[in-house]
Amino acid sequence: MNTLKKYNFLLKNLDCANCANKIQNKLAENKDYKNVNVNFSTLKLTLESELENIKQDIVKIVSELEPGVEVIDMHNHIHANKEDKKKPKINKNFVRLMVGIIFMIFGLFINLPRNYNLICTVFAYAILLYRTTKNALKLLKNKVIDENFLVTISCIGAFFIGEQKEGLMVIVLYEIGKLLEDKAVNNTRKSITNLMDIKPEYANLKHEHHEHRVNPEEVNVGDIIIVKQGEKVALDGIVISGEASLNTASLTGESKLLKVKENDNIISGSINEKGLIEVKVTEKYENSTVKRILELVENATDKKAKTETFVNKASRIYTPIVVALALAVAIFLPLILNIQYSESIYRALIFLVVSCPCAIVISVPLSYFTGIGKASKSGILIKGSNYLDSLKNIGEIVFDKTGTLTKGEFGVEEIKPYSSKYTENEILEYAALGESLSNHPIAIAILKEYGKVIEKDKIINFEEVSGKGIKYKIENKEVKIGNSDFTGAKNEDKIGTVIYVKIDDEIAGDIVLNDILKPETKEAIGKLKSLGIKTKMFTGDNKDIAKKIGNEIEIDEIRSEMLPQDKYNEVEKIINKKRETKEKVAFVGDGINDSPVLALSDIGISMGGIGASSAIEASDVVIMTDDLIKIEEAINISKKTNKIIMQNLLFALLIKVLVLILSMFGIAQMWQAVFADVGVTLITILNTMRILKN
């Protein structure tokens, strides 16, 4: 069986959200294509297929549905973009509109001999309706009806019932509206792109006695790059010489400069504000932090929220229903009201114009796209529109303790030998030997305290028991390091994390460590509680430590001495209880040890740190700065995005319904119908831009 291959295309010149839905639906009908998604906000088409060389088929389908849309392979997009920027851009639709208006002026407003007025009017119709008529005819061959059809029928109908001026004004206003709409959508896309303008364009690759600029993709792990003042860090790496102050705002939302020196890890996408450093590359560009973040943000709106999915599905049947209703108005209105058929046809034509669904279809995905971009600027990576939508419904948040509520930076507070056979240094050495093969924060603290080189070759039969401790053999001695249950030690009444050292059958001593609470933790918990969210802390630490920290930050509920499986089971119970309500359950962890619970929860939130790849992979939302305050900010962005979506939908529907009713009673004219279409679309796009404001 062949494996599915993912394809990514750019749909250049796609200027209609409803058209994006049509392309997606048509491609999804093909059984050879899986997970088809057309993202109007990014103009991206993604799908999976076992077939090779599918572009030709994709081009055929897209051109049938949307003439003029160009299908470009994403890997060619950068080069195509650079070429496009070099060429002077001529807006053909603008030129066509101007020529059409000139003919309209001669046809309607200047007295010409013979039949020249009529000829100019016909030419004006032909020029102005060229795009919509061409698209409508091509789509009709594929049994598809869209706004091009509605506008074309309305304008031609107006011509034949003697309303030539009205018909021309409709198409002129419509074309002007479409040009402004395209500009507004492109400006929104540009605003989001500027927010995420973190991709480095080059790297200064160092050779023995010189350097030269190369594409970041050409640099290998182990190569040395030079980052000068004002330049972006091209790849993740370790500083091997020099000092610098890095601006990480576009990655983390943190405005304070990060000072780095020799042996410090740095991430790609940062900007060197001051200094000169040489960096040894630790990750190829394809695995770098900046690449991961860009892919995450670009693909985020592929996962659609329920509101967006509903709008997309509704738009499939919307236009045929509108056409049927317009026919009903044209045929039956004279039977109900005392009017001529020419008048009922005119009202039906207004009905068609006002019913175009662009404002509704565009505003929803564009709002989610903008919300995700806004969050990204603040160092909050949200993996999908569905997660952005769900954040506003969080009713309960469960926090891991270590590395989440606390810094995860343990300090050794006390070392106590239980026998005269061992000194404090020996107890610490045995602990350090075992912990040298672990990545746990406790291990890091013990190794830091020990501060000597470890001879790992002497360690044999190493085993780490999740949530309990580690064991190993050295020089025929069996050593266990961990909690009282694991080592069989009598639990000492001490505040802090107590690690017992057992050598053979004897408890040799203990080491007491304490974690450091993050400075913003108490404020963050308070802000979440003020939103009506219930907060809980689940930790593997003992009852006394958990109670001390929990009381200090005033968290609602404290659960201690929990294994990872216990956390999983308890979160599952909470989710089951909330299933009958709209409330969502979030779990906040460090993205390393809590991956199963992060995946289980409705919304998994990782305290990602600067460039922690494990956090980016494990969760639905990543807080790049480890700042708990960002959770409240993410929830507020979600609420604001949802509020604006509701405003756009209600405004668009109310205006359309109002003009539809007025048109049926002969009060509304065609120019008002055009406003109810393109005018409302423009207003909803401008309203969407408010998401970017604080």
According to DSSP, the residues that pair with 482 across neighbouring strands are 469, 500
Query: What positions carry a catalytic annotation?
Result: 400
CA diameter of the chain: 121
Percentages helix, strand, coil for the chain (3-state, rounded to 5) are: 50, 20, 30
Rg of the chain, C-alpha, whole Å: 32
According to DSSP, the residues that pair with 280 across neighbouring strands are 224, 238
The first and second tokens of residue 591, run together, are 């993205």
Q: Are 405 and 549 in contact (CB under 8 A)?
A: yes
Classify 484 in phi/psi space as left (phi over 0), alpha (psi -120 to 50) or beta.
alpha
Crossing angle (nearest 10°) for helices 306-336 and 17-28: 110
According to DSSP, the residues that pair with 242 across neighbouring strands are 277
Exposed (0-12), middle (13-18) or buried (19+): which is 516, by Cβ within 10 Å?
exposed
Sole residue written with tokens 């404020």: 523
Whole-angstrom distance, CA of residue 211 vs CA of residue 223: 12
Nearest to 219 by CA among 172, 288, 173: 288
Whole-angstrom distance, CA of residue 436 vs CA of residue 306: 48
3-state SS, residue 187: helix
Q: Are 300 and 384 in contact (CB under 8 A)?
A: yes
- CA dihedral 648→650→653→655, nearest 10 degrees, is -90
